[in-house]
Amino acid sequence: MSDTSSSRPFFSVNDLHVHFAARSRLFRETPPPVKAVNGLSLSIEPGRTFGLVGESGSGKSTVARAILQLVDIKAGTITLDGEDVTNVPSGKELAFRSRVQAVLQDPFSSLNQVHQTRTIVGDAITRHFGVKAGADRDNRVSALLDEVGMSPEFLDHYPYEMSGGQRQRISIARALAVEPDLIIADEATSALDVSIQSQVINVLKRVQAETGVAYLFIAHDLEVVKHMSDDVGVMYLGYLVEKGDAERIYDGPAHPYTEMLIASIPMPNPVVQAERRALRQTFGTQPGGGIAEPPSPSNLPKGCPFENRCPVAMDICREEMPEPTPGHHGGEVRCHLHTSGPELGGESVVHFIESQKLSSPAGSGSAV
Ligand SMILES: Nc1ncnc2c1ncn2[C@@H]1O[C@H](COP(=O)(O)OP(=O)(O)OP(=O)(O)O)[C@@H](O)[C@H]1O
Ligand code: SF4
Ligand SMILES: [Mg+2]
């Protein structure tokens, strides 16, 4: 995806759709399904990080769970080095897990509380490499602890004896134990205090530099994702509305929703901060005041799902879902602004939104 790397993707998700059946209620019609992921495609190059951002409920974890084979997929394919791993048969699960590992938000529930670190991490080594419990295996666990910045004394520790940051490092060590090519990190640092969060992020970055592991790094904190990612994808109501080189997207987003998210990042310069806050206030402001709620994932509109919050929506936006088109950052954007009306042709949307804000009242829905 990025034009700065000559590497080719080794992992890709192609046109993924995941729907959840809504619970039916007695004597009522079966409600429509929750459309959690809608036609999402992304690819990851070896040793690089793809960051996935979006508001709560946008479908980020569902993408992770689909890759990890934890939810049923309605349509789409997942490939690893050209091999279809959409539905890994039970006999091949171990081989898949040796290449794709996960680090999740809550290490307390994902680590077995009755085992010491030597067993938690060591069992992964036994499962994947057949090394039995003992001195050799302990040495390998110690080396992994060293990798995540922990001393060998933690071999004897139980999860409940460790802090949140230490437990998350153990989760990372356990994932690294099988020498994976890809780690899915879903809100892996979100529950940690800011200073511990940056320590864990530094561990992830150092490990990547040393081992060449790739990450799918999922978080709702845009600054953390910016710090971590080479490429970034922005989700809104199950759609990937923009993806491409992280730095170029943060500098000049092509999608109004991405601009809205970025406008919410605190800026050190108070003048810039005030401008961004003013810009953010134009999103979703209805003519009578108040902020528009996003549509329900069980009842998505036929047009763009961001239409009722978009300050520059056009008539076509209510009628047709925009298809992905090339963006200036070398990636893609799903927005009619780039193909209809002003035809931004993939360029940054920021100046266009600002010019519209000056020439028409917020939320008038009459950008062109
Ligand atoms: N098992 C399920 N059954 C029904 N609906 C589900 C299920 N899991 C997720 N959903 C719905 O799918 C949508 C996407 O949820 P998901 O957890 O993937 O979002 P997310 O972006 O990870 O949110 P967050 O930032 O809060 O973690 C939401 O509307 C959620 O309510
Ligand atoms: S301009 Fe239209 S297509 Fe683009 S984000 Fe706004 S409503 Fe959606
Ligand atoms: Mg989630």
* 265 & 150 share domain: no
- Is residue 189 one of the residues assigned to a domain? yes
pLDDT of residue 98: 96
Domain extent, residue 234, equals 1-99+180-250
Q: Where is the domain boundary, 250, 282, 298?
A: 250
- Is residue 203 one of the residues assigned to a domain? yes
Pocket test for ligand 2, best of 241, 310, 349, 357 (most atoms within 8 A of CB): 310
pLDDT of residue 359: 55
Out of 13-17, 205-209, 343-347, pick the least confident.
343-347
Sign (positive or negative) of CA dihedral 303, 305, 307, 310: negative
Greatest mean pLDDT among 99-113, 130-144, 192-206, 251-265 = 130-144
- Is residue 368 one of the residues assigned to a domain? no
The residue whose CA has the least distance to atom 3 of ligand 2 is 335
Q: How many CA atoms lie within 13 A of 176 on its CB side?
A: 24
Report residues whose beta carbon is within 6 angstroms of any ligand 1 atom: 20, 34, 36, 54, 56-62, 220, 297
* 217 & 84 share domain: yes
- Kindly report the CATH number assigned to the domain that includes residue 204: 3.40.50.300
pLDDT of residue 91: 92
Total domains present in the chain: 3
* 91 & 186 share domain: yes
* 237 & 307 share domain: no
- Is residue 228 one of the residues assigned to a domain? yes
Q: Where is the domain boundary, 250, 267, 285?
A: 250
**Is this prediction's pTM over 0.85?**
yes
The residue whose CA has the least distance to atom 5 of ligand 1 is 20
Q: Which whole-number Å values give the CA distances from 256 to 26, 265, 305, 333, 354, in the listed order?
A: 41, 15, 12, 10, 11
* 229 & 245 share domain: yes
Per-residue confidence band for 287, with pLDDT thresholds at 50, 70 and 90: low
The residue whose CA has the least distance to atom 1 of ligand 1 is 20
* 83 & 20 share domain: yes
Q: Identify whether the C-beta of residue 116 lies closer than 8 Å to the C-beta of residue 174.
A: no
- Is residue 366 one of the residues assigned to a domain? no
- Is residue 71 one of the residues assigned to a domain? yes
* 92 & 188 share domain: yes
- Identity (one letter) of the amino acid at 316? I
Question: What average pLDDT is seen over the chain?
Answer: 89
* 198 & 314 share domain: no
Ligand nearest to the CA of 283: 2
- From the CA of 58, give the closest atom in ligand 1: 21
* 265 & 341 share domain: yes
